[in-house]
Chain A
Amino acid sequence: MNYSEISLFREGLRGHVGWPRAWRDARPKPSYDAVIIGGGGHGLATAYYLAKNHGVSNVAVLEKGWIGGGNVGRNTTIIRSNYMLAPNTLFYEHAMKLWEGLERELNFNVMVSQRGVLNLYHSDAQRDAFARRGNAMRLSGVDAELLDADDVRRLVPMLDFENARFPIEGGLFQPRGGTVRHDAVAWGYARAADALGVDIIQNCEATAFRIEGGAVVGVETTSGFISAEKIGIAVAGHTSELARKADLRLPIESHVLQAFVTEGVKPILDTVVTFGAGHFYISQSDKGGLVFGGDLDGYNSYAQRGGFPMMHHVMSGGMAIMPRLGRLRLLRHWGGIMDMTMDGSPIICKTKVDGLYLNGGWCYGGFKATPASGWCFAHTIANDASHDLNAAFTIDRFRTGALLDEKGVGPNPWIQ
């Protein structure tokens, strides 16, 4: 059923008994044209664009648990395209453009809210580094503004300009950045893909690949064997584990990234703000809770929970620039598992196994990338070749040295 004011009104009058399932509770068929492993944002988006852009609708999405249970449901909901290195800038900008039309595209309100993303800088050197990034964005046609301290005061009056250990000198602002209702992204893509004929199969885990003569012919699952000549892996967080079943060793480590949310309060913060002298970024959700995060806990982990050290560091960062947060109370904190690549940029490419495609290594960028990731991965699977937008996101770059190291910290994902 189409979602609209009209249908909502009609259902309201008759007690909402007429709403159908958002997506069918599909059982696996023995064979598909393409199978996507991973019912997260990226996997579901990939299935949707395979059907929508490439006419490949005999597709199954296999999810070992419930869809959207991974990082799409555990992040801090931020979207932005403020990257410096061209391949990243263009890719994330493509994502941004897809976000901007997503409600209509999916007939599902994922609440794309472009209230701006502000990265604070605290020294001239940092300003110049941000300017290099901001100018790179502008040269690529992406919006960016360089703000001085007074601009920042006007934009976010609650910041502490007096007692800060690292005084705020200004910020790099992307007005089109913002937040999205994260769970809804998974649900929206699932519903739209389902409507195009995609089978979304929950509680079905891929256990092994069947590979013959260097080409994949299907996947063993907890619901039996499913044959398919094109299989896409989109299980960020667990990519190494699944890829190993196809004898792939990757430049990836799994790390925990924590997220935090406070009790709901009346609006005090409109934009997304990131601290430049510590690890802290924050926004306020439409429900009133302040959603914030920091950096990795800093050790390999597959546990979806965080520890006190990073928690302390993040809260201190918050209190360093927003002392008004002091009496607000933390409601929940949790962890998500990040695929950290050795240069901080993602992987969307073919593998050494014909018909097996890899989408992973999203580091911190996974959620904001979701639409473009699905869009490019679908293109790569449908055409057995990368799109220009993901041509640089190969595994091979680590051998050739064509790296995409936004942070410049080298092959040490845990360095913060």
Chain B
Amino acid sequence: MHQIPCPWCGVRDETEFQYQGDATVRRPAAEASEEAYANYVYFRENPKGVHIEYWRHTGGCRRLLVVERDTVSHDIKAVRFAHIPGGGEDA
């Protein structure tokens, strides 16, 4: 069972979080092509190894976290807030 260190709530069970997938994709500009949006919505790197992904702490602070996690060992390398560039705490 994943133990995810939430920057706000501390280490919590994976069951408190809602997985939100690949955090490396970026929504294209409004005027971008269907192709660009399709790549954003559907196509994934899906690495075997370190994956940068979103987990929302719905059972705790509800914030969206960016988690760097190894998809083989499941070790978590880093966690930060998604809503703050740099991921520090709010100010």
Knowing A241-B48, A307-B1, A412-B21 are in contact, say whether A300-B34 is a contact too (CB < 8 A): no
Q: Is the CB of A309 within 8 A of B19?
A: no
Contact of B19 among A240, A252, A299, A308 (CB under 8 A): A299
Number of chain B interface residues as a range:
20 to 34
- Which residues between 198 and 255 of chain A lie within 8 Å of chain B, taking CB atoms? 238, 240-241, 249-254
Cα separation A298 to B69 with both chains bound (whole Å)? 14
Asked if A302 contacts B48 (CB within 8 A), the reply is: yes
- Which 9 A/B pairs are nearest by Cβ-Cβ distance? A240-B46, A251-B42, A398-B42, A342-B42, A308-B1, A399-B38, A302-B48, A309-B15, A414-B19
- What does the 1/0 interface line of B30-56 toward A look like (CB < 8 Å)? 000011001101111111100101000
- A342 → chain B closest CB, angstroms: 4
Q: How many residues of chain A are within 8 Å of chain B by beta carbon?
A: 24
Which B-chain residue is minimally distant from A313 (CB atoms)? B15
Given contacts A299-B19, A303-B72, 19 further A-B contacts (CB under 8 A): A238-B48, A240-B47, A241-B46, A249-B39, A251-B42, A253-B44, A253-B46, A298-B19, A299-B14, A299-B53, A300-B21, A300-B46, A300-B53, A301-B72, A301-B74, A302-B48, A302-B71, A342-B41, A414-B21
Kindly state the separation between the CA atoms of A249 and B21 in the bound complex, as whole angstroms: 16
Highest count of chain B CB atoms <10 Å: which of A298, A302, A342: A302
* A-chain residues with CB within 8 Å of residue B71 when the two chains form the complex: 254, 300-303
- Does residue B2 face the partner (Cβ distance < 8 Å to A)? yes
Q: Are A302 and B42 in contact (CB under 8 A)?
A: no
User: How many angstroms between the C-alpha atoms of A198 and B21 in the bound complex?
Assistant: 40
A238, A251, A412: most-surrounded residue (chain B CB, <10 A): A251
- B1-38 vs A, Cβ < 8 Å mask (1 yes, 0 no): 11000000000011100010110000000000011001
B73: which of A299, A303, A342 is its contact (CB, 8 Å)?
A: A303
- Smallest Cβ-Cβ distance to B53: which chain A residue: A300
B18 to nearest A CB, angstroms? 9
Q: Give 27 CB contacts A-B under 8 Å.
A: A240-B44, A240-B45, A240-B46, A249-B45, A251-B42, A252-B44, A253-B44, A253-B46, A254-B46, A299-B2, A299-B14, A299-B19, A300-B21, A300-B22, A300-B46, A300-B53, A300-B71, A302-B48, A302-B72, A307-B2, A309-B14, A309-B15, A342-B41, A398-B42, A399-B34, A399-B35, A411-B41
